[in-house]
């Protein structure tokens, strides 16, 4: 990415990239950024409960970074406050997985993505709230209580990366690392009004990330704009150059954008489809059997999670929240042949997905069909809401393909969002297409 930035005034401004430009030019100082972020985190946490642990050491890290900047060039994320989901290990900083079982666990090493953040000069603001063991979509079940929606604290953030989405929306973090197994980055991003990006499977390392379901788990990113998630992903990926940040800043000209879309009867979504067509985007209806694909994903997710937790759950079942325990019990009830059949079906489903999306930049769907419900609406009914929340997102985890949630306005003052899903390793295409949607829908 070339600095200083030259940006088109008609596109939403990439907040993170502009802040990084300020740090490079000395307009903004890392110590100032750390102090501001920590003050904001403490203040917002009183109402929204988006952090489990706030990292006071960020000021010390910023002080050391300022000394380094005096003698050398700025690393790519210098002085940027970034939050980390409390499912991702952080050396010397408590990592709870949102569970009482790990409420005092302090890792002795960083996850690889956290190591890359530190090497790039990022400042870790803190560890964000999550649904217990990342095993839910409401963020109501957590060792520190529920995270609250930035638009209305009586409503849920969605999950499981709810604290990550809230920390970005509220401003203490300029970006956040999350995890996504059945939509856990994209669902809260949609309900909190930010961008949520799940890369192609294993594009970002899972080393040092506590597993939920290993063949479905993805490390993802949340930020205010598409170029911002692209920039951080490029830094963290760092090996193959599969993330074209400059393309994610430019986007694709609307008349050159070619999207497949699911035709579903959701008012705000149909308005988006109409709006895109009126702006010159080519948009073609396709039919996909998401119900079948999601049922296959569900078997894999439940069985793999049961395998991860079997020992802890058998010896200490009361430590698990009721909704998480119910999913583990269901996972333990499956036969080996059910799991193997669901894995074997992946190739067939991938072939169908590739066939239906051939010739398109991406597939357009809703991210979630509803706005954030109130805590009272879903409390005790988390598993029923799960079906609604994951309907359009979990198949992308089953296939391991890139997907991104982009804000699409609001309904009664609450955020709504649409999703773009791409073909394997076509992350740059998906990000560029998402930038176009971000511009047209802003």
Q: With bands split at pLDDT 50, 70 and 90, how would you rate the model's confidence at 246? A: very high
DSSP bridge pairs for 51: 128
| CATH code for the domain of 215 | 3.90.1300.10
State the number of CA atoms in the 13 A half-sphere of 46 facing the CB.
5
Residue 2 belongs to some domain of the structure: no
Q: What is the pTM of this model?
A: 0.97
Whether 85 is catalytic: yes
Instruction: Output the pLDDT for position 145.
Output: 98
User: Among residues 160, 161, 164, 394, which one is catalytic?
Assistant: 160
Domain boundary among 250, 269, 297: 250
pLDDT higher than threshold 60 for residue 4: no
Mean pLDDT of the chain: 96
Which letter, b or e, does each residue of 349-367 get, where b requires 16 or more Cβ atoms within 10 Å of its Cβ? bbeebeeebeebbbbbbbb
Q: With bands split at pLDDT 50, 70 and 90, how would you rate the model's confidence at 72? A: confident
Q: Is 242:426 a contact under the CB 8 Å cutoff?
A: no
Q: Is 127:96 a contact under the CB 8 Å cutoff?
A: yes
Instruction: Output the pLDDT for position 5.
Output: 55
User: Per-residue pLDDT tens for 193-210?
Assistant: 999 999 999 999 999 999
Same domain membership, residue 226 and residue 92: yes
Instruction: Output the pLDDT for position 67.
Output: 94
Instruction: Output the pLDDT for position 241.
Output: 73
Q: Is 235:116 a contact under the CB 8 Å cutoff?
A: yes
Same domain membership, residue 366 and residue 326: yes
Please tell me whether residue 56 adopts helix, strand or coil conformation: coil
What are 349's two structure tokens?
């489903």
Residue 9 belongs to some domain of the structure: no
Domain boundary among 250, 267, 302: 250
pLDDT higher than threshold 80 for residue 268: yes
Indicate the DSSP class of residue 74.
P
CA quadruple 178, 181, 183, 186: dihedral, nearest 10: 20
Average pLDDT over residues 413-434: 98
Same domain membership, residue 264 and residue 238: no
The pair phi, psi for residue 315, each rounded to 5°, is -90, -20
Instruction: Output the pLDDT for position 442.
Output: 87
Average pLDDT over residues 40-68: 98
Residue 335 belongs to some domain of the structure: yes
Same domain membership, residue 175 and residue 323: no
The label of the residue with tokens 């760092």 reads 238
Same domain membership, residue 296 and residue 194: no
Same domain membership, residue 261 and residue 244: no
What are 297's two structure tokens?
């994903």
Distance CA 193, CA 434 (A): 15
- Report how many domains make up the chain: 2
Instruction: Output the pLDDT for position 242.
Output: 83
- DSSP 3-state helix, strand, coil percentages of the chain (rounded to 5)? 45, 15, 40
Q: Which residue range is the domain that position 356 belongs to?
A: 254-441
Same domain membership, residue 29 and residue 113: yes
User: Among residues 85, 127, 198, 391, which one is catalytic?
Assistant: 85
Same domain membership, residue 303 and residue 202: no
Same domain membership, residue 221 and residue 336: no
Could you tell me the CA-to-CA distances from 270 to 262, 264, 276, 277 in Å, in that order? 10, 8, 10, 11
Distance CA 81, CA 156 (A): 24
User: Among residues 28, 115, 182, 184, which one is catalytic?
Assistant: 184
User: Per-residue pLDDT tens for 129-150?
Assistant: 999 999 999 999 999 999 999 9
pLDDT higher than threshold 90 for residue 157: yes
Residue 325 belongs to some domain of the structure: yes
DSSP bridge pairs for 406: 418
DSSP bridge pairs for 286: 262
User: Per-residue pLDDT tens for 318-372?
Assistant: 999 999 999 999 999 999 999 999 999 999 999 999 999 999 999 999 999 999 9
Domain boundary among 216, 250, 284: 250
DSSP bridge pairs for 180: 218
């Amino acid at each position: 990415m070339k600095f200083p930035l030259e940006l088109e005034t008609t596109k939403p401004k990439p907040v993170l990239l502009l802040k990084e430009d300020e740090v490079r030019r000395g307009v903004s100082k890392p110590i100032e950024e750390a102090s501001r972020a920590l003050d904001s985190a403490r203040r917002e946490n009183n109402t929204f409960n988006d952090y489990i642990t706030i990292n006071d050491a960020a000021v010390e890290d910023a002080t050391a970074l300022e000394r380094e900047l005096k003698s050398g060039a700025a690393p790519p994320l210098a002085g940027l406050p970034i939050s980390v989901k409390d499912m991702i290990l952080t050396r010397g900083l408590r990592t709870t997985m949102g569970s009482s079982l790990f409420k005092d666990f302090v890792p002795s090493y960083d996850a690889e993505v956290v190591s890359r953040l530190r090497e790039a000069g990022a400042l870790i603001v803190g560890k964000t709230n999550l649904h217990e063991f990342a095993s839910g979509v409401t963020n109501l079940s957590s060792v520190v209580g529920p995270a609250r929606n930035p638009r209305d604290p009586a409503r849920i953030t969605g999950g499981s990366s709810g604290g990550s989405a809230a920390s970005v929306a509220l401003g203490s973090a300029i970006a956040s690392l999350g995890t996504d197994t059945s939509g856990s980055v994209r669902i809260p991003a949609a309900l909190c009004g930010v961008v949520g990006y799940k890369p192609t499977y294993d594009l970002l390392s899972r080393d040092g990330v506590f597993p939920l379901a290993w063949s479905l788990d993805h490390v993802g990113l949340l930020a205010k704009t598409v170029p911002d998630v692209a920039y951080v992903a490029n830094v963290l990926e760092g090996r193959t150059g599969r993330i074209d940040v400059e393309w994610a800043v430019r986007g694709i000209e609307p008349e050159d954008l070619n999207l497949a879309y699911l035709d579903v009867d959701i008012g705000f979504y149909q308005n988006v489809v109409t709006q895109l067509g009126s702006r010159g985007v080519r948009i073609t209806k396709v039919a996909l059997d998401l119900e079948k694909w999601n049922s296959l994903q569900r078997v894999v997710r439940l069985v793999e999670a049961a395998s991860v937790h079997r020992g802890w759950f058998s010896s200490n079942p009361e430590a698990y929240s009721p909704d998480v325990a119910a999913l583990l019990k269901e996972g333990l009830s499956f036969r080996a042949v059910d799991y193997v059949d669901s894995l074997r079906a992946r190739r067939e489903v991938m072939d169908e997905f590739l066939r239906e999306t051939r010739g398109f930049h991406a597939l357009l769907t809703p991210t979630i069909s509803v706005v954030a419900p109130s805590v009272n609406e879903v409390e005790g009914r988390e598993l029923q809401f799960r079906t609604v929340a994951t309907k359009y997102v979990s198949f992308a985890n089953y296939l391991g393909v890139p997907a991104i949630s982009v804000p699409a306005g609001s309904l009664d003052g609450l955020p709504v969002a649409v999703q773009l899903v791409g073909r394997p390793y076509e992350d740059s295409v998906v990000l560029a297409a998402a930038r176009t949607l971000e511009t047209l829908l802003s």
